[in-house]
Every structure is written in C-alpha cells, then in structure tokens.
Amino acid sequence: MTEITEGGVTVTVEEARDGASDGTSDAVFFNPEMELNRDLTVAVLRAHADRAGAGTYLDATAASGVRATRAAAEGYTVTAADVDPDAVALARENLADHDDATAVHEDANVLMHESRFDVVDLDPYGSPVPFADAALRSATELVCVTATDTAPLCGAHFESGRRRYETTPRNTEYHPEMGLRVLLSSLVRTAAKHDVAARPICSHVSRHYARTYLRVDRSATAANEAVGDLGHVYHCQDCLYREHERGLLADAPGDCPNCESNRLVTAGPLWLGEIADPTFVTDVRSALDDEMGEADRADRLLETVGNELGTPTHYDQHRLCELWGRPASAMDDFVGALRAAGHEAARAHYSGTAFETDATVAEIRAATEHLG
C-alpha cells in the first residue's frame, strides 16, 4: 500500500505489481494516468453543486475509491460500490473520514435499479454499456460516463462497435469525435426508452478514453427532443466530403455529390447536437484550482471545448493537405485564413491539427491555398 495526494485529498492505493505502472496488475485498480479525468470530474461536481446543491453521488465501479473520496470532500453524500471485496475494503478505508460516505459490496446494476442518486458516475474498465440502462434510470440530475473501448466506438473494430452500441461507426480521420458521438447516441437512445432526456453539458476525448457528463430530464417530451438530435453522417472516403442529416432513418446519396465516388459511407445514428454547454463549461473552468495536478491541462482543454462550433464532425489539417499534395501550415494561420474568407472556424480539442468549420472541403482548400 502507498499513500498519494490528489486534488488536496490523501488516499491509500495499492501499488501496481509485476511492473504494471498503470494499475492494471492484480492489485485493486488505480490508474494515475486518469488524474485529468478525476480533476475534471471534481470541477464538474463543483459547478453542478453551485446550481443544484451537492446531493447524493454514486461511484458505481469504485475500485480504490479515489474518485468517490474526492467527491465526498466536495460535500456530496457518497456511495462507492464494487463487486470486489478487496476494493470495497480499500474504498471504505479511504472514505473513513467522511461521515456522509459509505462503501458497499454490491453489483452496481442491482444497486442502481433499487436506489436513486442525484449523480451517477460510471467509470468502468472498457464499455459503460452494461451499466447505462440502470444508470440512466437511477440518476435524477447528472450522469457521468467514461468509455475506454475506443476501437469499437470509432469503427476500428467495426462489428463489435455496431453490436455493442447498436449503430454504424466509421473509422475516419475524425475518429475521436466519431467515437464520442457514437457513445452519446447510445446513451441518449437508452435514456429515451425510459422517457428520460439525456443531454451532454461537457464532453471530451483524451488519450485512450471518451468522457461525457449528461444532464437528465425525466420528461417524455424532452426525450423526444433529444432523439431529434440524432442522425447520420455521409462521408466520402476519397475527397473527404461529408454531410449530415437528422433522423433515425438514413437517406444517403448513391454517390458522392462532390467527386462522384462510389465510396460514400454512412455512419449512425450518431449524436449530432453539441457535445457541451459553453456556459456550463465556463463554470467548470472556474471551478479548477491549483491543488489539481492537471489543472493547467484541464483549463486548456476546456477553453477549446467551450469555443468549438458544435458541428457534428471536424477536419484534420494534415489529412487534407496530404490529399491536396501540399505542406501543412501553422494551425492558427490555417483557422485564421478560413475566418478571413468569411467562414466560421475554430480549433477542436480532439488533436492539435483538428478544426471545425462550416466551409466545404472545396471552400477550405480555396481559403487556405495561399498558405501552401
């Protein structure tokens, strides 16, 4: 065992054995690489508490209980659940100084079907799908979800992605966004089955995972409106043209309208709405503090997320320049050239060369030709 301090909270975790530095040995799981995720979670919980109060919080797959302990330190009434008795014992030890916190040896799905929580947090190993139905029935205000199965989400493992998320993912140059929107589509559709609307108020893709925070509204009318933001993307694998349309039934063009290629693929149903509420993101940024080890990185990430256009796909400058046979330029110059030509454009958080714009591929090329 070893003590660590994260976000001003000191907890005990098991040291990884057998050379596993990421906590993936036979010790109770703890991943230090997820500190950014946990720092952002605390900032979201603070911003949410400022609006709704610090209510009940479930860490559904608690492991060592680090996330649960940090939530308890924010004034939430915390339940940490796990099916591993060793994990429960360690989480209970970490929560011992918090009177309104408990660790339980319980299957998360059983617990969520039996009880309601203001905030439910899913951070499982791999896909959150096995827990999503129960979580979206249990949560009354906010559902926080991490997915680490990025290959199925983004279409790299096509069949498993289609089977698990009941949609058609496509492996494109904007694969991180594809994965996030596949995840959001699955969560929105799962919530709607129970007459619950789930809408993302903050989302990001970082390293090997996607993370989203969804505000829930128990209203069939609101659920219908959320489903209305689902639809499909049609993507040309040759010229990189893409378009999107809302609706659960796809109506794809036969060939690419831009280059007449027959390699036009359909992805969806995807979430086509915004991945974040800019006002809430600003509040989350304000909730970061210097005790957070990833505060600077989190602030830069949130700044970009808050300024995104909300378009359903982004472009990769390097991929476009490769297609056009010209060198890439500085991203700020590239985005600035699009704006100077009268287009909306913003950098996207998915990578250093990602950007969003309302311009077509042909318009992007024309607006930035002088940079090459």
Q: Which of 316, 314, 282 is nearest to 299 (CA)?
A: 282
Give kind and range of the element (H or E) at residue 345.
Answer: strand 345-347
Domain at 315-371: CATH code: 3.30.56.70
Domain at 2-230+270-307: CATH code: 3.40.50.150
φ/ψ of 252, rounded to 5, equals: -75, 145
CB 137 within 8 A of CB 131: no
pLDDT (tens digit, 0 to 9) for every residue of the chain, 372 residues total? Answer: 899 999 999 999 987 554 443 444 456 778 888 999 999 999 999 999 999 999 999 999 999 999 999 999 999 999 999 999 999 999 999 999 999 999 999 999 999 999 999 999 999 999 999 999 999 999 999 999 999 999 999 999 999 999 999 999 999 999 999 999 999 999 999 999 999 999 999 999 998 999 999 999 999 999 999 999 999 999 999 999 999 999 999 999 999 999 999 999 999 999 999 999 999 999 999 999 999 999 999 999 999 999 999 999 999 999 999 999 999 999 999 999 999 999 999 999 999 999 999 999 999 999 999 997
Query: What's the angle, vertex CA 283, arms to CA 279 and CA 285, rounded to 5?
Result: 115
Encoded amino acid at 289, one letter: D
The Cα 59–Cα 145 span in angstroms is 11
**What ranges do the domains of the chain cover?**
2-230+270-307, 315-371
Q: Which of 361, 347, 287 is nearest to 42 (CA)?
A: 287
